Chains A and B, each alone.
Chain A
Amino acid sequence: MGKNNKTFLFLLAILILIFPWAVRNNYFLMVLNVAALNFIVVIGLNLLMGYAGQISLGQGAFFGLGAYLTAIFTVTLGLPLWPAMGLSLLITALVAYIIGVPTLKLEGHYLVMATLGFNVITYILSIQLEPVTGGPSGFAGIPRLQIGGLILDSDKKMYFLLWAVSLLVFILSLNLIHSRVGRALAALSHNEIVAKCAGIPTENYKIKIFVFSAFLASLAGALYAHYFTFISPGTFSFFYSIQVVTMVLVGGIGSLWGSLCGAILLTVLPELLHPVKEYNVLIYGLILMLILVFFPRGLLPVLVGTLWGKKA
């Protein structure tokens, strides 16, 4: 993984540990918790975009699927917590596989469309299948996470769990990037046909990374559900899918450290924009366009120089 990464990871871990003692405000902790969840989703999406060269506009659907499935399994079906979560993640991964197999054979924008369509469908279903999902009024009463006898019922406790999980996902993903598979993915994202001729099973890898990104999104969704104990159809929103794509782009496609910054920045920004909520949508659109037009490689790479190139 490289010495640089390890050093910075260590520093990051320390920062994460110190933060709650330095800042004793629960609201900030909650915002950072959401940022951690977004970070997990963004990592998956960045691997898909930066290393498989594909864009998904359906992470919101996978996020929501993770959330709703675990809610249904634990509350409606009374399954124990961790197996329920595990099952939700597996099912979501399977769904992603089914979508990915036919669409990843085609040009990039077919996946964009398929994931978008899928997102819309799941959103509508979450509203219409009221007996199962609770409909527009949402699904309440989701149990909190429990490790052994310890119930994670405060922002602070969840902070440590969520950041531990996201750090773990970060490390694993960095490992992947620096491995044989990561190299193959980088090659295929650059030139798929040449990668194939070199012996890389590109279709297989694209599907795997797509499923992985869906898996991560659903992991975040499930954690979200057990954190806030209440979810609503908005959890599936197409706008969330756009938000996470924006986070990837702001941080720089292919740069996982950039994704960390993108996730934190764009989670905090809407909170700051709260007083001018009517402008929220407009500002998001303008930011997205601005970045794409002038900084297609991401804001962070430009700001920090070539230090944070594809190697991160």
Chain B
Amino acid sequence: MRFGGLEALQELSLNFQPQKIAAIIGPNGAGKTTLLNAISGIYPADEGEIYFLGQPISQLSPHQIAQLGINRTFQQVQLFTNLNVLENVMVGLHPRTKSGFLSGLFHLPREREEEHWIRKQAQEALEFFGLLTKADWPATSLSMAEQKKVEMARALANEPKLLMLDEPVAGLNLREMEAMAAMLLKLKEKGQTIVLVEHNMDLVMSIADWVIVLNHGTKIAEGVPAEVQRNERVIAAYLGSG
């Protein structure tokens, strides 16, 4: 992956195991968010290919990738501030539904039923995160932790095969972080495959099944948390000499 003259990601070979939590860590500028953006289809890959369930996806557009079952959250919470909390999650259900322009215009019975279903699904998703009571609130009136949950609910509404989270605990206090960690483990128990990019080592060490370390756009180590923690190259990278 190249930006101008800078190679942000080079020669990456990664595998994500289903129904496990994988964490991608690395110093700032290592290319972690770029990697997520490449997988989401926001940046087309310059060379090489990304495979999802056997299908090449690097030339697909982001919405096609979402429809295939990859959803994500962003480093800085990206809720649709012109919609309320419930509506944000309802948007997440878009790929699972079908009513188009004409049924929308004429408010056909099929569209009405589907809307009803969408609303119910979204409400259930909010309930999982304990936010159902705030369904009608404007998205911006929630706290940071709550907004992150809404963003996650939106991503999960699509029942994605792969959920990617970009720094899910950034900006949260200790208590909120522990709650988030518990939530992620609960999701894993339900069978969700999760990949997260994180800076917070405590979170990573406590919930990740597998850790991948990036530096300068390449993978410098991977393994279970305990191994990676002891890896010399990783330590060096974080200290700045790597």
Contact = CB atoms under 8 A, between A and B. Distances in A.
A181 B83 contact: no
A157 interface: no
A196 B40 CA distance: 9
Nearest to A192: B62
Contacts of A187: 80, 83, 91
Interface size, A (range): 20 to 34
Interface in B111-143: 111, 114-115, 118
A212 B101 contact: yes
A183 B92 CA distance: 10
B104 interface: yes
Contacts of B154: 198
Interface in B33-60: 40-42
A195 B154 CA distance: 11
B81 to A, nearest CB: 7
**Most B CB atoms within 10 A — which of A172, A175, A182, A199?**
A199
The secondary-structure label for the interface of chain B is helix
B82 interface: yes
Contacts of B40: 197
Contacts of A310: 82
Contacts of A190: 80-83
A144 interface: no
B2 interface: no
Given A184-B94, A199-B95, A202-B63, A179 B80 contact: no
B107 interface: yes
Contacts of A173: 105
Contacts of A193: 42, 62
Contacts of A3: none
Contact of A179 (B65, B67, B91, B103): B103
A202 B103 CA distance: 18
Contacts of A175: 104-107
Contacts of A186: 80, 82-83, 87
Given A186-B83, A212-B101, A197 B66 contact: yes
Contacts of A203: 61
Given A172-B105, A186-B83, A181 B42 contact: no
A295 to B, nearest CB: 18
Contact of A197 (B71, B105, B111): B71
B149 to A, nearest CB: 16
A183 B105 contact: no
Nearest to A175: B107
Nearest to B74: A194
11 contacts: A179-B107, A179-B111, A180-B118, A182-B104, A183-B91, A186-B80, A197-B62, A198-B71, A199-B71, A199-B94, A199-B95
Interface of A: 1, 172-173, 175-176, 179-184, 186-187, 189-191, 193-203, 208, 212, 310
